Structure 1
Amino acid sequence: MADAAAWRRVAESVRAKIEAGDYADNPQRRLPTVENIAADHGVSKQTAHTAIQALATAGLLHVVRRQGAYVRERPRDRAVVRDRTVYRDGIGYFFDKNAQDWRAVRKPTHRIEPAPDHVADLLGVPRGENVLIRDRDMGPADSDQALQVAISYISLPVVAEIPVVGGSDTGPGGIYDRIEEHYAAPLEWHETVSARPANVAEQDRLAVAPTAAVLVVTREARMLREDGTYLVVEVNETSMPADQFAVSYAIRRDPSAAWPRTNEAADDPPPTS
């Protein structure tokens, strides 16, 4: 069993080198082997291994079986800030301006199966009912590592109305353009941002530690009906490593907070604690 004081000393030494960027020039930011780390620090391989596993659990390293440990990119190396604006380019709508050039890093899949209960509720379909699920791993165009897992859920009645959204090739602009063309009306979107521990699939697909948290953006794509109610045509859940993403937005003034302040507002006594 590795000595606690020894492996912590090794872990702090390796952490300091990571923070100093000592491994940045290594191929794929790979750490030296466990044997080399043990020799450099005068400890056993077991102690060095325990130190590496602790850094992986802390989210600093990604360990690949039979290949070694790699330094994960940190927020200061790659910061992607989501805002509350939808954009459009020659490909179609997109929601992360700093990730405009991102593409699927693996072949997207689509399948028919029940949606998670909370997604079924948003879609307005019975829990346990099958829906169309479109699944993509997204990342920079020059990388094969996913930084976002994007999963879309579409009710089967909508697929029956617009069959192209269930196919592999949805054409220029993707499903959103097909939906707007079909209904001859613009989509509206509503997002909810939350955080939770990464599930097993996300740990593998995003290369994050079992203890890592993910930021989850749940986006409803909605059509306004003539009666003033909304039809939710798609729910998209995008999960991403919480330590590498942020949400940014402008704070607007409610009419009650207008400036210049009215005399009445200016004369109001300050609130008491």
Structure 2
Amino acid sequence: MADAAYRRVADAVRAEIEAGAYPPGERLPSVQKIAEVNGVSKQTAHNAVQALVKEGLVHVVPRQGTFVRERPRERAVIRDRTVYRDDIGYFFDKNAQNWRAIGPPTRRIAPAPNHVADLLGVARGENVLIRDRSMGPAGAAKPLQVAMSYLPLWVAGEVPVVGGDQTGPGGIYDRLEEHFSAPLEWQETVSARLANDTEQDRLSCAPSAAVLVVTRESRVRRNDAFVVVEVNETAMPADQFAVSYAVQRDASAAWPRSEEPADGSAEG
């Protein structure tokens, strides 16, 4: 019965939020007030609020209260899978062309996550150069993406500017192409996972919230072979982003079809 009681209260508060009684950014009534309004104990009301926290609908600010999260009803940005260029340099999302770093980027030497080390071709646990940025629309106070670039130390040794504060016009990608006298090529993988501590803090994600992660390998040809010179991993709230791309026909799926199936049947 206790379980049913807190769920009933959670449903009631959720309905009020969805009806607009508590818009995004507004503080919920105290646990004591929720308990009184719903005729339950303070502990039951507390359990109901915690259930909404786990859903990602609200978040708790220490010593201030519980606030409704800003959750878009529609995904705000569609990422396509094309690289573009403007007078600043390469960018990978038309919708985010005007985005900038929010707060100063940081640089450090530390081991990369195991899956990134594998992509870079370095030993797990080996130090790499990590460039860390929080990104958002120009003028925004809060970022919508956390972007980490990982570079092998041999690349940082050959191209020292990539470890500096100012990397010049076009950023590290232009510096890498200049050094290797060859164009970069990119391979991306899109995945999802729960937000880590850094992402929860910077993106205001609930512990139970998912982030969409785009892992991009930057490859360049050297001595007749491709080497991975950087891996960029960008995490963004999964409820605000989607990935969009064109579906192309393979030669086997060409139209008009050259011939029908031998048995005369049509395939959907």
Same fold (TM over 0.5): yes
The answer to whether 1:267 aligns with 2:264 is no
Per the TM alignment, residue 75 of structure 1 is displaced from its structure 2 partner at its CA by 4.0
Root-mean-square deviation (CA, aligned residues, Å) is 2.3
The one-letter amino acid of 2:43's match is Q
* Distance of 2:227 and 2:170 partners within structure 1: 20
2:211 corresponding residue in structure 1: 214
**TM-score, normalised relative to structure 1:** 0.87
Distance 1:17 1:143 in 2: 29
1:13 corresponds to: 12
Task: Note if contact 1:134-1:152 (Cα within 8 Å) is conserved in structure 2.
Answer: yes
Match among 191, 214, 229 for residue 233 of structure 1: 229
Shift in Å, 1:101 = 2.7
Alignment of 1:1-273 (within 5 A): 3-24=2-23, 28-225=25-222, 227=224, 229-263=225-259, 266-269=260-263, 270=265
User: Is the 8 Å Cα contact of residues 92 and 174 (structure 1) preserved in structure 2?
Assistant: yes
Instruction: Verify the 8 A CA contact 1:81 1:246 in the aligned structure 2.
Output: yes
Q: Distance in 1 between matches of 2:233 and 2:36?
A: 46
Local SS of the residue matching 1:160:
helix
Aligned length: 266
Distance 2:29 2:82 in 1: 43
Counterpart contact for 2:74–2:240, Cα < 8 Å: no
Contact 1:114 1:130 in 2 (8 A): yes
Assess, with a 3 A threshold, how the Cα gap between structure 1 residues 68 and 105 changes in structure 2: closer, same or farther: farther
Distance 1:32 1:89, change over 3 A: farther
> How far apart are residue 23 of structure 1 and its match?
2.5
Aligned partner of 1:180: which letter? E
Q: Select between 216-225 and 32-41 the one with higher mean Cα deviation.
A: 32-41
Instruction: Name the % identity.
Output: 69
TM-score between the two structures when normalised by the length of structure 2 = 0.89
Could you report, residue by residue, the CA deviation over 1:79-103 in whole angstroms, capped at 9, with x for unpaired residues? 2221101122333222222223332
Q: Structure 2: 5+ residue runs without aligned partners?
A: none
Q: What is the DSSP-based 3-state SS (H/G/I as helix, E as strand, rest coil) of the residue aligned with 2:11?
A: helix
Contact 1:75 1:245 in 2 (8 A): no
Structure 1 gaps of 5+ residues are none
Is contact 2:75–2:239 with CA below 8 Å preserved after alignment? no
